[in-house]
């Protein structure tokens, strides 16, 4: 693998992890907004329950995607360490 391609792969991994963390944080803010609207009687319980469920599913999906991307990054790091270690022997 060329150096340019390796840099591009690591850039894509970094962007993916950053996007996943952003989505999780944004979903947490949205959940807090729903809770605030319920406390201020601006939203009924049925709507809040539906929105909370959908936001929770979105957060789980973002966490799963981020975990897959981070897992791939860890796998690549360990594979490169093993490969360089075996080449040294």
Q: What is the pTM of this model?
A: 0.77
Q: Give the pLDDT of residue 33.
A: 96
| Total number of domains constituting the chain | 1
The residues, ordered by sequence, that sit 6+ positions from 13 with a Cβ below 8 Å of its Cβ are 69, 72, 73, 76
**Per-residue pLDDT reduced to its tens digit, 13-66:** 999 999 999 999 999 999 999 999 999 999 999 999 999 999 999 999 999 999
Indicate the pLDDT class of residue 86, thresholds 50, 70 and 90. confident
Distance separating alpha carbons of residues 4 and 10, to the nearest angstrom: 10
- Going 67 to 72 to 76 to 81, the CA torsion angle's sign is positive
Q: Give the pLDDT of residue 78.
A: 87
Per DSSP, the three-state class of 12 is helix
Q: What range defines the domain where residue 53 resides? A: 3-88
Distance separating alpha carbons of residues 62 and 21, to the nearest angstrom: 8
């Amino acid at each position: 693998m060329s150096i340019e391609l390796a840099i591009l792969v690591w850039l894509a991994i970094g962007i993916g992890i950053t996007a996943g963390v952003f989505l999780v944080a944004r979903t947490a803010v949205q959940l807090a907004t729903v809770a605030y609207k319920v406390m201020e009687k601006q939203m009924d319980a049925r709507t809040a329950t539906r929105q909370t469920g959908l936001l929770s599913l979105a957060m789980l999906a973002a966490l799963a995607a981020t975990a897959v991307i981070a897992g791939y990054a860890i796998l690549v790091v360990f594979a490169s360490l093993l490969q360089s270690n075996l080449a040294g022997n």
